[in-house]
Structure 1
Amino acid sequence: MHKNPQEKTGLVFVSGAGLDSQIWSRVVEGMEHPCLLVEYPLRNSPVESRRRLSLEDYVTHMKKQVDEWGVRKFVIVAHSLGGVLALKLASELSDRLAGFIAVGAVIPKNGGSFLSVMPFPQKIIMSAILRTIGTKPPESAIRAGLCSDLSPDQAAKIARGFTPEAVRVYTDRIHVSVPDVPKLYVKLTQDKELGLSLQDQMISNLSPQSVRSLETGHLPMMKDPDGLRAILEDFL
């Protein structure tokens, strides 16, 4: 007897900073579970209109999409900066949350922010950068960090489509604990954006039941979508 799709556990995908939700499209191809690729607010509006948004505004926008989706139980899959937003989202949907998967994601402690997890010199440099040039890194930095192991075509596409986020997504603190559900951290062993020691710190903050590794840079959903999909299906 087939389960009604509404009864199947779904997957809610939360992207990293600057990235479009479609970055997950090759991972979700052929998955047997309902998948929702959440969008961040005012994505197609001018940068100016997004500038004032708070982290709370992002989460409210994401929660509305999950509520309208109608799948009752789901696992959140969060990447990079998306980890911060996903923790807040998870706390607001705890009665429906079946699991939490962090893919090279930032997991601050209760009361922390994205910026708070950065090592000391980087924290100072980054807060100065956010204040002066905003949240879109130069193309060379996107190619070297985010896209370190991608093809030139893939890297060009990411750099071209990179959407600057509101500064407050990096600086607003979240006052939530890690959700009390099965958790998994997917460690990216070639990541030039979030190094291994920082990922180890995030793993310690998340205290997942298991850790899996992928030999990719910061964007495994582009470099190895099949490998990532297999890990997600194992977890489910």
Structure 2
Amino acid sequence: MNKQERTWEKTGFVFVNGAGLESRIWSKVVEGLDHPYLLVEFPHRNGSVESRKDLSMMDYVAHMKRQVDEWGTRKFVIVAHSLGGVLALKLAYEVSDRLAGFVAVGAAIPENGGSFLSVLPFPKRILMSAILRKIGTKPPASAIRSGLCNDLSSDQAAKIVQGFIPEAVRVYTDQVDASVPIVPKLYVKLTHDKEFSPSLQNNMISNLSPQSVRILETGHLPMLSDPDGLRFVLEDFLANM
């Protein structure tokens, strides 16, 4: 069996990042990963805010699916973070014939037919709806630092703030219209997360109904603050599916 055939037969990972981030956020996690992996990109990542503003959720999902379709791995586990959980549910539906498992890392998992906004507590949902209408999808630097970067180094936080990419509003507001996939599922709960509180993550766990829950004592970006721990969790999940 040649290398291409081995890659096709070995189960891999498809990584879906959260809002404002780029796929390279997973770089430290996939270093040394003994499985094929694909870091999917969102559309128009190098374009202007204007080039993305009219995109729908399905535009994002279609762009990711094209990358998966071109990837030379037959079966894979989708690993989704934060808002990427909403996109990943629809992607999982679109590639169900190749889906082996689903991992949500501090991810938004709405009830069937819900949107990202629908997972938020009512007061925060109303506030965020107003913010999206008035100032768009890029939070102030202070909010990014306190919410996403609370346990990161100052250098790491600076890079996240500087590189934050505003998404299309409809990624937050469009309904998913896809149920939770019927495959082995894992939720990775982040106990020091200031963006998605532990109680909010408990709601996401209830919506996902995973076979298992693993704990990482990190903030919202464990792929930066504890990449080795996250890699171990993913490899253990795949080994024991």
Query: For the superposition of Structure 1 and Structure 2, which TM-score range results when normalised by the shorter chain?
Result: over 0.9
| Paired position in structure 1 for 2:161 | 159
Given the alignment of the two structures, is residue 188 of structure 1 paired with residue 202 of structure 2, yes or no? no
Query: Under a length normalisation based on structure 2, what TM-score does the superposition of the two structures give?
Result: 0.97
- Structural mapping, 1:1-236, within 5 Å: 4-236=6-238
RMSD: 1.0
Q: 1:174 deviation in Å?
A: 1.1
Q: Give runs of ≥4 in structure 1 deviating > 2 Å.
A: none
Distance (whole Å) between structure 2 residues aligned to residue 175 and residue 58 of structure 1: 14
Aligned partner of residue 4 in structure 1, secondary structure: helix
Aligned residues: 236
Residues 117-157 of structure 1 deviation map (CA, whole Å, 9 limit, x = unaligned): 11010000000000000000000000000000000000000
Distance (whole Å) between structure 2 residues aligned to residue 108 and residue 171 of structure 1: 12
Q: 1:5 deviation in Å?
A: 1.6
Q: 1:70 deviation in Å?
A: 2.1
Q: Counterpart amino acid of 1:83?
A: G
Distance (whole Å) between structure 1 residues aligned to residue 233 and residue 9 of structure 2: 22
Q: Counterpart amino acid of 2:233?
A: I
Q: Counterpart amino acid of 2:180?
A: V
Tell me if the contact between 2:110 and 2:119 (Cα under 8 Å) persists in the aligned partners.
Answer: yes
Distance (whole Å) between structure 2 residues aligned to residue 222 and residue 118 of structure 1: 25
Aligned partner of residue 71 in structure 1, secondary structure: coil
Distance (whole Å) between structure 2 residues aligned to residue 145 and residue 194 of structure 1: 8
Q: 1:18 deviation in Å?
A: 0.2
Q: 1:192 deviation in Å?
A: 0.2
Q: 1:6 deviation in Å?
A: 1.2
Aligned partner of residue 102 in structure 1, secondary structure: strand
**Which runs of 5 or more structure 2 residues have no equivalent in the other structure?**
none
Distance (whole Å) between structure 1 residues aligned to residue 7 and residue 169 of structure 2: 38
Distance (whole Å) between structure 2 residues aligned to residue 4 and residue 168 of structure 1: 39
Tell me if the contact between 2:7 and 2:72 (Cα under 8 Å) persists in the aligned partners.
Answer: no
Q: Counterpart amino acid of 1:75?
A: V
Residues 89-136 of structure 1 deviation map (CA, whole Å, 9 limit, x = unaligned): 000110100000000000001110000111010000000000000000
**Which runs of 5 or more structure 1 residues have no equivalent in the other structure?**
none
Q: Counterpart amino acid of 2:201?
A: Q
Aligned partner of residue 14 in structure 2, secondary structure: strand
Aligned partner of residue 236 in structure 2, secondary structure: helix
Distance (whole Å) between structure 1 residues aligned to residue 209 and residue 70 of structure 2: 31
Q: 1:176 deviation in Å?
A: 1.0
Query: Under a length normalisation based on structure 1, what TM-score does the superposition of the two structures give?
Result: 0.99
Q: What is the aligned-residue identity percentage?
A: 76
